[in-house]
Amino acid sequence: MDQILSVAAILIAAGVQDGSIEMLSIGIIVGYYQILNAGSGYIKKKKVVTKEVLLGLKGSAFYHYFINASDEQLILKYGFTRAVLNDLFEDIKPFYQKYNFWNGKNNAGLHLHKRKRPPRRQKFNHVVVTLLTLYFLKVNGDIGDISCYFGEPPTIISVNINYGLLLLELAMYKNKYGKISWPNQHELEFLCTVSASKYPDLAKYKIWGFIDGFKSPCFRPTCEYKQNAYYSGYVGKHVFNNILLFDCLGRIRFCQLAMPGNCSDSRACSITNYDINTSYYKKVCEIFTNAGYNVLADSAFRLGNGTISTQDFLFENVENPSHFISMRQSAEWGMRICQSYKRIKNKLTADSRKSYLILRVTCHMVNYGAEKGMPNQIRSVFGESFYEHYMLPEDCRFTTWQHTI
């Protein structure tokens, strides 16, 4: 047994050097946990590698990988390039210094409180907390797998992930790059101009965004009433229903997240959203009444008064009806961007604040990446066409992604 544990430690150290820690076999991982969870007396008596040394080796896997990784590798692991990550660290740092994390009694809730008293020692700094949270969102492994990569016990990893989710939500809520906000009058005019530059024959409809819904899986609740609420007969399982509205530059302008699975897309849009302090239908009807702006949707939504569907155009005499279908496809591109964060495709806990935070922070990260020039199919299609005809106003400029993976 001693030889097995020693070989496991050597192999783990070897895997650390090339950053391939997640490729280790199950047997090596079992050996690692036997060392990690062994008492100090056992470790000294058997003269196996100490817990501190092993944690140091495992921790260096993360640091070694982050320091030497290319932009392509960082995108796959964390979703952003190094330059964008550095900007995100600066946005997170003031909130990390201001707020401490408290998990509540019996894990009853997630709370942040100001650092009025000397806080208990933080396990990670703001850089590691941010990277840990982004890695958690980008992969679909459990906490045990993530703890192997970061080289810390699962309890510490779980606590800091919860802390990171709260910090990212707090930092991005009013951040000009990551916030989810309804466009103002100037932005609506600009977005309509962008869509008209791509499809000039559809300019009269003043389409500025695309709305659609997607379902993310959740665990079956124990409560019978919640089981009925989160079960969707359309997909035959328990799910969340999420509604997202993308503008012509790839930003999420409205989101209704973690709705019960039996709540249809149209019903979800009838419920008051705290971002806009009203429902989607009332808000879109208001801007349609004022200036005639429209959002393109499918037949699952209530049509009219600012929401139009591709079916409406099939009966009209237009030159290229396929343009409506092509424009409608932009909503699917936006959904694929969100689903690149694999965590939302894993089963989450129904009626849980953490599940909502995971979905909400994912939307913030999509907006942050779109404004920072990360790959975005909607922005690349409409933005390139817009550059050919117009010059962007100063307050609406964006960087075009020039790097291909």
What is the distance between the alpha carbons of residues 188 and 179, in angstroms, rounded to a whole number?
Answer: 17
| Cβ contact 58:31 at 8 Å | no
pLDDT of 196 over the 90 cut: no
Percent of the chain with pLDDT over 70: 70
| Cβ contact 84:399 at 8 Å | no
Interval 337-390: pLDDT, tens: 998 899 999 999 988 888 999 999 999 999 999 888 888 888 888 876 555 444
* CA–CA–CA angle 30, 33, 38 (5° rounding): 130
Q: 126-138 vs 82-98: helix axis angle to the nearest 10? A: 120
| Cβ contact 238:210 at 8 Å | no
Quick one: 163 exposed, middle or buried, by C-beta within 10 A (0-12, 13-18, 19+)?
A: buried
User: pLDDT band at 274, cuts 50/70/90?
Assistant: confident
| Cβ contact 246:273 at 8 Å | no
pLDDT of 134 over the 70 cut: yes
Report the pLDDT value the prediction gives residue 137, as an integer from 0 to 100: 93
Interval 46-64: pLDDT, tens: 333 333 433 443 444 666 6
Q: 381-401 burial by CB neighbour count: b if 16+ within 10 A, else e?
A: bbbebbeeeeeeeeeeebeeb
Q: Which residues pair with 245 in a beta bridge?
A: 211, 254
* C-alpha distances in Å from residue 276, one per residue of 176, 236, 269: 17, 32, 12
pLDDT averaged over every residue in the chain: 75
What is the distance between the alpha carbons of residues 170 and 255, in angstroms, rounded to a whole number?
Answer: 17
Domain layout of the chain by residue ranges: 1-57, 69-172, 185-396
Strands 237-247 and 231-232: antiparallel
User: pLDDT band at 245, cuts 50/70/90?
Assistant: very high
DSSP state of 273: B
Report the pLDDT value the prediction gives residue 138, as an integer from 0 to 100: 92
Instruction: Report the number of secondary-structure helices (H) and strands (E) in the chain.
Output: 18, 8
pLDDT of 79 over the 90 cut: no
Report the pLDDT value the prediction gives residue 123, as an integer from 0 to 100: 65
Interval 306-324: pLDDT, tens: 888 766 655 555 566 677 7
Report the pLDDT value the prediction gives residue 127, as an integer from 0 to 100: 84
What is the distance between the alpha carbons of residues 284 and 343, in angstroms, rounded to a whole number?
Answer: 31
Residue 80, both tokens: 């952003």
Residue with the two structure tokens 């939307």: 363
* C-alpha distances in Å from residue 150, one per residue of 80, 306, 405: 19, 48, 25
pLDDT of 42 over the 70 cut: no
What is the distance between the alpha carbons of residues 108 and 227, in angstroms, rounded to a whole number?
Answer: 21
Strands 294-297 and 252-260: unpaired
Report the pLDDT value the prediction gives residue 313, as an integer from 0 to 100: 58
What is the distance between the alpha carbons of residues 50 and 36, in angstroms, rounded to a whole number?
Answer: 9
Using DSSP, state whether 254 is helix, strand or coil. Answer: strand
Looking at per-residue pLDDT, the higher value among 382 and 231 belongs to: 231
* C-alpha distances in Å from residue 173, one per residue of 91, 113, 168, 366, 400: 11, 17, 8, 13, 24
DSSP state of 401: P
Residue with the two structure tokens 């101009």: 193
Output phi, psi for 88, to 5 deg. -65, -35
What is the distance between the alpha carbons of residues 76 and 246, in angstroms, rounded to a whole number?
Answer: 23
